[in-house]
């Protein structure tokens, strides 16, 4: 009971402080840079179609990038299990990609994808998707590799004793074992894919997308509108995370025994 009550009370306290401008006094700021929650809500309600359009652009990039990157990462992990000698190095090189700052990756990708399509929205989306995919790929490949190799003790030996073919080894043992690890990777991947999308939108050519709108509105000193997009971004993040939790519960419903 108190587990729910305390955080909710804390949230209400912050909102009240914010709405009564006490928060502004603490932070030495004004309602121009930090608009009241009521005003942000009103802006979201008034501009709902525009915000929705930008949201779709961002969410599409984030999800496609996450899926492509995760699939590629999983494939890498499978290949590493099959070819362990050279694979170890590939895993290390992939993991290095997570450490590369997005700010360095995004402009490079913009340059590389200039010829993909004549349409700005398409080539811009492709460049953003590649950045998101690269960031998610490393995370997935490391987790999936662990899921594919850290099987229950002796189960690998049992498969060998039963003269299981390598393909059977994958379909019956390794891949089922890796499912919880996939979700571990996705839990990190969902927030990071959204943040990566938003940051790479700062550098993108195409003018749609939540990150781009935050930047444009701030350049035009419309902080209230920028806040509306920030709130939207948080809502997207929480919604996608909740969706992931539902999918996880559905997929893993028969695995409670673990």
Q: Which residues bind other proteins (CB under 8 A)?
A: 2-3, 6-7, 10-11, 27, 29, 33-34, 85-90, 92-93, 95-96, 98-104, 107-108, 111-112, 114, 142, 146, 150, 184, 191, 194-195, 198-199, 202, 210-211, 214-215, 218, 223, 226-227, 229-230, 233-234, 237-238, 241
The burial of 61, by beta-carbon neighbours within 10 Å (0-12 exposed, 13-18 middle, 19 or more buried), is given as buried
The rounded distance, in Å, linking the Cα atoms of 237 and 224 is: 20
Shortest CB 184 distance to other proteins, Å: 6
Sign of the C-alpha dihedral, residues 218, 223, 229, 231? positive
Nearer to other proteins, 50 or 164 (CB): 50
Nearer to other proteins, 136 or 226 (CB): 226
Nearer to other proteins, 85 or 254 (CB): 85
Nearer to other proteins, 37 or 237 (CB): 237
Are 106 and 126 spatial neighbours (Cβ–Cβ below 8 Å)? no
Nearer to other proteins, 61 or 198 (CB): 198
Shortest CB 249 distance to other proteins, Å: 14
Can you spell out the DSSP letters for 88-107?
A: HHHHHHHHHHHHS-HHHHHH
Shortest CB 132 distance to other proteins, Å: 14
The rounded distance, in Å, linking the Cα atoms of 136 and 146 is: 16
Nearer to other proteins, 238 or 247 (CB): 238
Nearer to other proteins, 64 or 201 (CB): 201
Shortest CB 90 distance to other proteins, Å: 5
The burial of 215, by beta-carbon neighbours within 10 Å (0-12 exposed, 13-18 middle, 19 or more buried), is given as middle
- E strands present in 24-65: none
Smallest CA-to-CA distance from 142 within 93, 82, 86 is with 93
Smallest CA-to-CA distance from 51 within 224, 242, 238, 240 is with 224
Shortest CB 124 distance to other proteins, Å: 15
SS3 100: coil
Shortest CB 210 distance to other proteins, Å: 8
Are 129 and 65 spatial neighbours (Cβ–Cβ below 8 Å)? yes
Shortest CB 163 distance to other proteins, Å: 28
């Amino acid at each position: 009971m108190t587990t729910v009550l305390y955080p909710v009370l804390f949230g209400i306290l912050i909102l009240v402080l914010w709405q009564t401008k006490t928060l502004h006094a603490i932070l030495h700021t004004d309602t121009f840079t930090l608009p009241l929650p009521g005003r942000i809500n009103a802006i979201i309600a008034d501009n709902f179609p525009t915000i929705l359009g930008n949201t779709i652009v961002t969410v599409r990039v984030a999800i496609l990038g996450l899926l492509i990157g995760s699939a590629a990462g999983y494939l890498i992990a499978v290949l590493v299990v099959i070819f362990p000698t050279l694979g170890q190095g590939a895993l290390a090189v992939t993991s290095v990609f997570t450490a590369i700052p997005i700010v360095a990756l995004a402009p490079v990708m913009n340059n590389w994808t200039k010829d993909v399509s004549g349409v700005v929205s398409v080539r811009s989306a492709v460049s953003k998707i590649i950045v998101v995919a690269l960031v998610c790929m490393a995370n997935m490949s490391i987790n999936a590799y662990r899921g594919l190799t850290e099987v229950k003790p002796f189960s690998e030996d049992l498969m060998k004793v039963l003269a299981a073919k390598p393909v059977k080894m994958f379909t019956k043992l390794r891949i089922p074992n890796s499912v919880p690890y996939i979700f571990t990777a996705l839990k990190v991947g969902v927030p990071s894919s959204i943040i990566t999308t938003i940051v790479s939108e700062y550098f993108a050519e195409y003018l749609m997308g939540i990150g781009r709108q935050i930047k444009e509105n701030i350049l035009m000193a419309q902080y209230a509108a920028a806040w509306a997009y920030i709130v939207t971004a948080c809502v997207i993040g929480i919604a996608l995370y909740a969706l992931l939790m539902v999918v996880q519960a559905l997929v893993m419903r028969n695995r409670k025994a673990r």
